[in-house]
Amino acid sequence: MDSFAFIIHPIDTYDVARKFKFMKNWPEKVIEGVMKHLPPVKVSHITGVRSPYNEVEGWFVGCPLTTRQMMTLPEEFVIQKIIKAGKLAEKLGAKIVGLGAFTSVVGDAGITISKNLNIPVTTGNSYTVATAIEGAVKAAEIMGKDIKNAEVVVIGATGSIGKVCAEILARDARFLTLVGRNTQRLESIAEKILRETGLSVRITSNVKNALKKADVIITVTSSVDSVIDAEDLKPGAVVCDVARPRDVSKEVAEKRDDVLIIEGGVVEVPGDVNFNFNFGFPPKTSYACMAETMILALEQRYECFTLGRDLTVEQVEEISRLAKKHGFKLAGFRSFERPVTEEQIERIKENARKNLAKWESKAI
């Protein structure tokens, strides 16, 4: 049977204590200290991923490091730990392995890991971008905004993911602003978009100014700190944060109950899938990056589909086409590792309606 594996890791020590309840009263430093010495583990066997064209099985492989450890421990140590997890995936029989969460961010985004394994590696970023754009457009519709007439802003537009997002959004948006630190590169992307789509986009290095009128924001910077402040967002704005580390801090979401902050889409997986592991999603749904690995296995495309930090429109279009072929589709939204409910969205819409007039009077 065709097969895949996907490397996951705990977001924080809370996730570890949730799995190993005897650790729930342990200090964070003690938990992380123990984890540094643990080997990768098989977390679960995934069954029932089935499309009209193929059926595959897979495994979750756990890399025992939290997000903070991945960001702060020596890069070589972290990469070696991920490679060991990839080796375990090979032993289990996986024919391709996907990198989840920060395992796809550290170092050179999978290239070194791929060189040290005998099976292909993919970061899942192509399908993540595809679903982020689809999710942002859908979220805008729910908030009462048509992407064709909305003020759309891409922050981090000079990076590979930001550039791809800008190029795809330029096909539909009439009002598009690109934000980045390098003005020369922004001009180059703006010229390419004008040449290919006929759309004249605005460019700026000033995030605050770009956000004042923004209805839909996709943010994908490589900044280690958040780049969006709570007071800059217009009531009713939709922010899709694709960046890792995040561009929007949790504090912003807590201060602003009139904006919708999402981190891309939840993907419905075809078949009667059983992950045999609760990662906090509704049944039969997954992250887009997980789905990319499953799609490639279903398609028997055993290749390093998305690696490194370069990404093209063609890759995003190709994985979107394959996703539709095999029956994957957007199922919902996530925000700060938690599902966004319809009730939350209704509250945000109501609060935005109340605050918008006040915001517009201040903006005049």
- 2's tokens: 């065709």
The string over 189-198, giving b where at least 16 C-beta atoms fall within 10 Å of a residue's C-beta and e elsewhere, is bbeebeeebe
pLDDT in tens, 35-76: 888 899 999 999 999 999 999 999 999 999 988 898 889 999
The reported pLDDT for the residue numbered 32 is 86
The reported pLDDT for the residue numbered 61 is 96
- 284's tokens: 């039969």
Of the candidate CATH numbers 3.90.1150.10, 3.30.160.20, 3.40.1260.20, 3.40.50.720, the domain formed by 127-265+334-361 belongs to 3.40.50.720
Give the separation between CA 170 and CA 164, rounded to whole angstroms.
Answer: 10
Residue 234 DSSP code: P
The answer for residues whose C-beta is within 8 angstroms of residue 336's C-beta and 6 or more apart is: 250, 253, 261, 263
Angle between helices 160-169 and 313-326 (to 10 degrees): 70
The model's confidence at residue 364, banded by pLDDT at 50, 70 and 90, is low
Give the separation between CA 122 and CA 114, rounded to whole angstroms.
Answer: 9
Give the separation between CA 229 and CA 191, rounded to whole angstroms.
Answer: 29
Q: Are 238 and 143 spatial neighbours (Cβ–Cβ below 8 Å)?
A: yes
pLDDT in tens, 217-272: 999 887 777 889 888 999 999 999 987 777 888 888 888 999 999 987 689 999 99
Give the separation between CA 335 and CA 222, rounded to whole angstroms.
Answer: 19
What is the overall mean pLDDT for the chain?
A: 91
Strand segments (E) across 213-303: 216-219, 238-241, 260-262, 265-268, 271-274, 285-287
Q: Are 193 and 157 spatial neighbours (Cβ–Cβ below 8 Å)?
A: no
Domain boundaries of the chain, sorted by first residue:
2-126+267-330, 127-265+334-361
- 208's tokens: 């605050």
User: Which long-range contacts link 74-82 to residues 24+ away (Cβ below 8 Å)?
Assistant: 75/106, 75/107, 78/106, 78/107, 79/106, 79/107, 79/112, 79/113, 81/40, 82/7, 82/106, 82/113
